[in-house]
Structure 1
Amino acid sequence: MATAAQHNGAPGPNGAEGVVEMVEANELRRRGKPADDDRAAAPLAARDGADDAAAANPSVEEAFADRAVPSWREQLTVRAFVVSFFLAVLFSFIVMKLSLTTGIIPSLNISAGLLGFFFVRIWTKAIESVGLLRQPFTRQENTVIQTCVVASYGLAFSGGFGSYLLAMSDKIAATSTEQDNAQNIKNPQLGWIIGFLFLVSFIGLFGLVPLRKIMIVDYKLTYPSGTATAYLINGFHTSQGAKLARKQVKKLATFFVLSFVWGFFQWFYTANPDECGFLYFPSLGLQAFKNRFYFDFSPTYVGAGMICSHIVNVSILLGAILSWGIMWPLIAKKKGIWFSADLADSNLHGMQGYRVFIAIALILGDGLYNFLKITILTLISLSSELKKTNASTLPISDDDGLATEAAPVSYDEERRNEFFVKDQIPWYVALGGYVVIAAISIGTVPQIFPQLKWYYILVAYIFAPVLAFCNAYGSGLTDWSLVTAYGKLAIFAFGAWAGASHGGVLAGLAACGVMMNIVGTASDLMGDFKTGYLTLASPRAMFISQVIGTAMGCVISPCVFWLFYKAFGNLGVDGSEYPAPNATIFRSIAILGVDGFSSLPKNCLTLCYVFFAAAIAVNLIRDLVPKKVSRFIPIPMAMAIPFYIGAYFAVDMFIGTVILFVWQRLDRAKADAFGPAVASGMICGDGLWVLPQSVLALAKVNPPICMKFLSRGVNDKVDAFLQTLS
């Protein structure tokens, strides 16, 4: 999963660019070249840079020439899938927590590859010590583990638990104008969620399989996240890389334990989880706290800030300052003029309307711009590739009338091409799988969502491969997945088709789920094929691993969500521990698509137009100015995220980016090598603490202490009141 965002309400740069920056810089330094920040920050340049580097640097495959490449069956081991299962559970908790809090999902591919390497290496060492080891641990098996884990935990995001699925519930509907419309409400139930995911999550795996050679071998698409992961896996399986991996795991384990213990310590002070504890520490003052500006001591967000690129974290903080520091206090003064003074802050006809719909305007403006940009880049690149193909077929050259010679192929490329085309996945298997799964889905999904007619799904499946190709090609060029943009497009298209009187809101949200799963899984699979291409993993083994990982995710992710849903009954409630901002945003988009703009408070539409245009203008400026300037210009999509939920996580992530920035200035090599491990440990430890916390909540075991913070005046009144009781 090329993430972050990717998978998000979060744009590609949320995690992918940050990881690629670190990995590319570290790789260049390892090869004896200076790290070029402009190059690392520009994924579009990665393809040319990679070609130049390949020509000037020693062969990667020559280092592994003395090691036999196992067959595709040997790459699919029992130990690989056992380790994958436990890692999938761990990462599903992490991604689920992030989906239900901020919606920002940093790239965890590196953590999955690193932990997979570590646990299987322990396994093989233990078996080897008693003389029972039959098959050594290879980089191909490591790639299979990484693919399986990413495919599984990816469903914790693309499954819509923090977005379109939760948006169907009555709790989210209660904040909108559709709360009394029963046909637009479907509350989560474990059974239908698992069934729905099994119906829609596999079809995307078959959509683009026949094009894998064209996109990986012929067009040589970069897939920066997939390439970065392959670099790491190749490095792990060298003697020097193995030593570094052990050190990285030690760092990860240290901060994992510290983060887990810190979560356990904090729990004791949260007798009322909506008011008590370090989460509500007014670290920047009480007035700032009222405007949701505070540091909440969350290792998850600090770690996410260390993984995400600096410009993403700064953009989020700027968005928080613009919204909660300036705009919302000014709009609040218009209470009684622009909107009724009797409305609660959580009502979409009041303050909440400005927060939600202006954020939507920024997200849609950014998404539309990047959708058009990637589409144009895709068309230009495709046209260029076709011209090259046609030119290479000319029988004679203009110079001497002799047949043209093919460009020389490097040893690495020749060897990778050989193994990539060795284990074919027949086209009829891919086409047949797509047709069969589509037929089953068309017949059964309307049983789950009667508002989503069978012919809606048929139309979606007809157009989905084209959209999946566009997304996979654009992601290969830029590392920017537009899966949520296609999901929002489906909300508008199918919601308007169904109409307000026929459950258009629910139909749009369900269609969003169908489209996001097809487009997202197809793009993720192609990125994993790139990783496998660079590690000589069999495409057939990669495909099977992806299928098994997806099957795991269809069960693990709903069960993890159900644990959250039962343990924390206020999912999606504004101001709660798990506000699920994307759920409210997705439902609001569905209402806009069906009902229009009639529900917006006064002047909200005008402000939406302004911010929609501003998002397009800022993106245009970012692309027109030189790279050394554009890397300081904020990203509108990242700025939009705190508009709705507040600035607290922006403060946490900014502290994370400051820690990494200072570390890089003091020792860039160590920061690049151990920064992701430290960040992953913080995220994993805090994320895993959710499991015992949920069990304690289900068992009705409450923390013994409530730690609250009061102003001096309120504290004096409380003391005076307590004296009257004594």
Structure 2
Amino acid sequence: MDSYDHNPSELEMGGGPVKRTRNGDKESGGPDRDSAWVEKNEEDEKDLSVEKLFESKKVPPWWEQITFRGMFVSMLMGIMFSIIVMKLNLTTGIIPSLNVSAGLIGFFFMRTWTKMLDKVGLLKTPFTRQENTVIQTCVVACYGIAFSGGFGTYLLGMSRKMYVKAGGSATPGNSANDIKDPSLSWIIGFLFTVSFMGLLAVVPLRKIMVIDYKLTYPSGTATAILINGFHTPQGDKMAKKQVKSLGQYFAFSFLWGFFQWFFTAGDGCGFVNFPTLGLRALEQRFYFDFSMTYVGTGMICPHLVNVSLLLGAIMSWGLMWPLIKNNKGDWYTASDTSMQGLQGYKVFISIALILGDGLYSFIKILYITLSNMYGEWKKKKIGQTEIPVVSTNNDEQRTGEAVSYDEQRRNEMFMKDRIPLWVAGSAYIALAAIAMGIIPKIFPPVKWYYVLVAYTFAPVLGFCNAYGCGLTDWSLASTYGKLALFIFGAWAGKDDGGVIAGLAACGVMMSIVNTASDLMQDFKTGYLTLSSPRSMFVSQVIGTAMGCVIAPSTFWLFYKAFDVGGDGEYAAPYGLIYRNMAILGVEGFGALPKHCLTLCYCFFAFAIVVNLIRDRVPKKVSQYIPLPMAMAIPFYLGGYFAIDMCVGTTIVYIWQRINRKSADILVPAVASGLICGDGIWTLPSSILALAKVNPPICMKFLSRKQNVKVDVFLGS
């Protein structure tokens, strides 16, 4: 599973239309303004200060920013977002950036709550932007565990189902000893052991990242713009529009999911199998399945991601798999569902694309990170840095350069509530020692010194991921996890549980580096909303603790109610992919069918070449070149969800052409409503499934010939 947290949308909302330039900076402006008005507005904006708008509002101390009502709302939202992320985990593995949605829905819930209390005269504490930020931070930390916890990837890859789907004992390296089925108790224990390390690893670096290097963190900045916009008098009208749209589409999506449920009384029933493009296309997994989750996801994801998904589906299911299937008997003799058959081509070619794209991105982000760090060090060494470094003495700048009122105010608040270095360092060492004792108990193939090595290098990798994320908005948590998978799997060896050791090490590394980048994103949001770093850190800890219970419980609900890891809706494709990567790491290429390795090499090179071209050509050309990572996902799943997401992106495109200003403001609200409504319906549908309450109707679609046969059979 790979999260598309990078570049969540071309337009971010909050303080009016915002367009991101190539280097991540922002240009204000909108298409509806005439040139004279724009020139006048640009002059006025020179003196515009966000913090002067809030000057009359007192910033509460850090302990007042964390409220009981805020944590209660965070828990409810954490459950809701965990259900959404878990559903995406176990179906397609595509998870859009939900930071903005968390800020928006947090505002929706809290504004509703406080208005109700205000009407009855019970409101004692007003709802502030700092409280809104703390809620958003807590929710992101909570649902982040649903992503980094590996429920659709490495944890599920350890299960017996994935062992069987990977070919069982017939596949070299796929040992029956390398099985650990999911259990709520050990999953919760494992997550509590590993999920807090990333928070401690980068806390001492917050000043360097946010103030000294002024990293952009686009998703965190977008969320801050949204929250600041909501809480200014000018933003009240826009907030009402967004909240109204969110509520309307939330209700529509929930009721649509409820309506569809009535027609799903058997396998292959319901709107989810509607042959929109014909029965032949349905057989090749090309159809629109009426999923509001994927339509909403398509509205949030960039147009290029959605088009790349569709292109990957056409390339694989439209061309490659039919052609390879025609060579059955020559290229392979096993069944199409075997890893030595067509299934092997599907899985390993998609792995090749993912690894090629991941390796390129890793090298690129590492190069950017090291280059920027070297550049800043060199500037400071020769005394020419343009970055104001804040001292503790009333924000006096070492360079003598004046800073804006906003920057001075934010720097002052950000440095006010320090988190002592010795506290973070001592806690990290203590948790590492605990992990060295607990993780080998949960996963016997993982030796204590594997954990020691992983935790020694994790802070460096966590820093690299957080720094790269600040520059590009790309989180490479899954790439670092795959790197650990191959290293520790090969270290353990196939005879000593290398598959389990590799998958467990992948989980340890993913948890640390993903949490590190999430925390720094939230620090950036807090910096721009004058939220205390201490309240942000505490809320992140609380959210992480919530996630360690909520995420496994949500997974367990899906696992018991549906056929998770089977061949149905919740196939969890990345579980099989991660297990096969672990097998590849300990065994080599002996398990691949004929010509599969050659095709893997070609697609690995294809991913690198396409990325090189994208980075070398002008922006106006690169925006039309597909993303290999996105293309890889439909190789195994088919094109149905890509069609849904393209419907979403088409809606946004048409909306922007008709009224761009309206689209900029309302698209995130509408998309959030669609995703959340459909996601929340999963909870009652799971409860109905567990209670053995079955839908009353089966709606199926047959060809004319099949229908005649059915009529003859029923008439006989």
* TM-score class, shorter: over 0.9
Superposed counterparts of 1:141-180, under 5 Å: 141-179=131-169
Query: Quick one: which amino acid aligns to residue 694 of structure 1?
Result: S
Query: Quick one: which amino acid aligns to residue 579 of structure 1?
Result: A
CA contact (8 A) 2:24 2:471 kept: no
Match of 1:536 among 530, 535, 544: 530
1:62 corresponds in structure 2 to 52
CA distance in 2, matches of 1:712, 1:249: 47
Query: Quick one: which amino acid aligns to residue 276 of structure 1?
Result: C
CA contact (8 A) 1:255 1:685 kept: yes
CA contact (8 A) 1:148 1:545 kept: yes
Superposed counterparts of 1:232-243, under 5 Å: 232-243=226-237
CA contact (8 A) 2:277 2:286 kept: yes
The Cα shift of 1:582 comes to: 0.9
2:12 corresponds in structure 1 to 23
2:392 corresponds in structure 1 to none
**Residue segments in structure 1 that go unaligned for 5+ positions in a row:** 1-7, 30-34, 395-402
**Correspondence 1:126 to 2:120:** no
1:441 corresponds in structure 2 to 435
SS at match of 1:414: helix
CA distance in 2, matches of 1:661, 1:242: 26
SS at match of 2:555: helix
2:692 corresponds in structure 1 to 700
The Cα shift of 1:706 comes to: 1.1
2:549 corresponds in structure 1 to 555
Normalised by the length of structure 2, the TM-score is 0.94
Query: Quick one: which amino acid aligns to residue 184 of structure 1?
Result: D
CA contact (8 A) 2:24 2:216 kept: no
CA distance in 1, matches of 2:184, 2:613: 46
Match of 2:78 among 83, 88, 102: 88
CA contact (8 A) 1:159 1:513 kept: yes
The Cα shift of 1:131 comes to: 3.3
1:270 corresponds in structure 2 to 264
Superposed counterparts of 1:342-381, under 5 Å: 343-381=334-372
Superposed counterparts of 1:213-612, under 5 Å: 213-272=207-266, 274-340=267-333, 343-392=334-383, 406-568=400-562, 570-574=563-567, 576-612=568-604
2:32 corresponds in structure 1 to none
CA distance in 2, matches of 1:501, 1:177: 18
Query: Quick one: which amino acid aligns to residue 164 of structure 1?
Result: Y
CA distance in 2, matches of 1:462, 1:155: 22
The Cα shift of 1:124 comes to: 2.1
SS at match of 2:444: coil
SS at match of 1:383: helix
Over residues 102-145 of structure 1, what are the superposed CA-to-partner deviations in whole Å (9 max), with x where a residue is unaligned? 00011111121112112222222233334333321110110000
CA contact (8 A) 2:159 2:180 kept: yes
The Cα shift of 1:28 comes to: 6.0
**Residue segments in structure 2 that go unaligned for 5+ positions in a row:** 30-41, 386-396
SS at match of 1:597: coil
The Cα shift of 1:405 comes to: 5.1
CA contact (8 A) 1:11 1:482 kept: no
CA distance in 2, matches of 1:657, 1:421: 41
CA contact (8 A) 2:8 2:219 kept: no
SS at match of 1:182: coil
SS at match of 2:124: coil
CA distance in 2, matches of 1:443, 1:405: 49
CA distance in 1, matches of 2:399, 2:597: 61
Match of 2:92 among 87, 99, 102: 102
Match of 2:192 among 198, 202, 226: 198
CA contact (8 A) 1:11 1:637 kept: no
Normalised by the length of structure 1, the TM-score is 0.93
2:714 corresponds in structure 1 to 722
Greater shift, 702-711 or 547-556, is seen at 702-711
CA distance in 2, matches of 1:511, 1:285: 45
CA contact (8 A) 2:3 2:97 kept: no
Query: Quick one: which amino acid aligns to residue 380 of structure 2?
Result: T
**Correspondence 1:654 to 2:646:** yes
The Cα shift of 1:11 comes to: 4.1
The Cα shift of 1:586 comes to: 0.6
2:681 corresponds in structure 1 to 689
Over residues 361-419 of structure 1, what are the superposed CA-to-partner deviations in whole Å (9 max), with x where a residue is unaligned? 0000000001000000001100111112222289xxxxxxxx99522211111000000
CA contact (8 A) 1:9 1:582 kept: no
SS at match of 1:185: coil
Query: Quick one: which amino acid aligns to residue 590 of structure 2?
Result: S
CA distance in 2, matches of 1:554, 1:404: 43
CA contact (8 A) 2:73 2:110 kept: yes
Over residues 223-263 of structure 1, what are the superposed CA-to-partner deviations in whole Å (9 max), with x where a residue is unaligned? 00000000000001012312222221111111111111111
Over residues 666-686 of structure 1, what are the superposed CA-to-partner deviations in whole Å (9 max), with x where a residue is unaligned? 000111111111111111111
SS at match of 1:231: helix
CA contact (8 A) 1:178 1:184 kept: no
Do the aligned partners of residues 405 and 278 (structure 1) sit closer, same or farther apart at CA in structure 2, a change above 3 Å counting? closer
Greater shift, 181-190 or 289-298, is seen at 181-190
Over residues 42-78 of structure 1, what are the superposed CA-to-partner deviations in whole Å (9 max), with x where a residue is unaligned? 3x3427999x999846111111111111100110111
CA distance in 2, matches of 1:648, 1:57: 50
